[in-house]
């Protein structure tokens, strides 16, 4: 039996043991929210099990941060208009968290990140998502593919793209 969580009147926060915590953005589509929560829980377990390994703890905490920003629990409040920097941070976090929620051979569609950040009106965000994805690829964080083949310059491509985690063999 699931217990209902107490929320503030505006729905922006939940109340746990008398403390207010920012609520997850309710506009994130359920399947994507489920993936983000799964990644958040896996990242929290990684923090717990990385005792004594400072690099592993730092990496796990970054994963927690990405998942929480993607869910709207950190970063700029999801109910307020986003700044350009806040929007780009949330898109990058959504891409990072989704890719880690899936197995390392899986990919995501850029529209998944747009749906997380901008639902229900996510389509206008696609140019920004592609820009953030290109920057992440330039930094070596992700690979961009089309029809399974790596794309060097996504700004010159049309059609569907996919994002994958960058690996040593990519």
Per-residue pLDDT tens digits for 13-44: 999 998 999 999 999 999 999 999 999 999 99
**89 vs 115: CA distance, rounded Å:** 15
What's the mean pLDDT in 69-84?
96
How many other β-carbons are positioned within 10 Å of the β-carbon of residue 26? 12
Q: Residue 113: phi, psi to the nearest 5?
A: -65, -40
What pLDDT shows up at residue 3?
Answer: 64
What pLDDT shows up at residue 170?
Answer: 45
At 156, is the pLDDT very low, low, confident or very high (cuts 50, 70, 90)?
Answer: confident
* Cis status, amide bond into 44, omega within 30 of 0: no
What pLDDT shows up at residue 158?
Answer: 84
**13-16 and 142-146 beta bridge pairing:** unpaired
Residue 165 host element (H or E): strand 162-165
Is residue 167's pLDDT more than 80?
Answer: no
Is residue 110's pLDDT more than 50?
Answer: yes
What's the mean pLDDT in 74-100?
97
**81 vs 78: CA distance, rounded Å:** 8
Is residue 169's pLDDT more than 60?
Answer: no
Is residue 1's pLDDT more than 70?
Answer: no
Question: Dihedral through CA 125, CA 112, CA 4, CA 49, nearest 10?
Answer: -120
What's the mean pLDDT in 143-152?
91
Average pLDDT score over the chain: 92
**86 vs 99: CA distance, rounded Å:** 20
């Amino acid at each position: 039996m699931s217990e209902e969580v107490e929320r503030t009147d505006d729905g922006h926060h939940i109340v746990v043991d008398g403390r207010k915590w920012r609520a997850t953005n309710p506009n994130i589509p359920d399947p994507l929210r489920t993936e983000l929560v799964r990644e958040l829980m896996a990242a929290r377990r990684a923090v717990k099990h990385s005792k004594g390994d400072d690099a592993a703890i730092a990496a796990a905490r970054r994963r927690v941060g990405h998942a929480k920003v993607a869910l709207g629990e950190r970063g700029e409040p999801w109910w307020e208009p986003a700044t350009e920097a806040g929007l780009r941070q949330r898109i990058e976090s959504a891409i990072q968290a989704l890719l880690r929620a899936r197995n390392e051979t899986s990919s995501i569609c850029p529209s998944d990140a747009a749906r997380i950040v901008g639902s229900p009106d996510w389509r206008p965000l696609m140019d920004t998502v592609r820009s953030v994805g290109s920057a992440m690829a330039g930094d070596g964080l992700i690979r961009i593919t089309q029809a399974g083949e790596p794309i060097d310059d996504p700004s010159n491509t049309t059609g569907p793209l996919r994002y994958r985690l960058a690996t040593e063999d990519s």
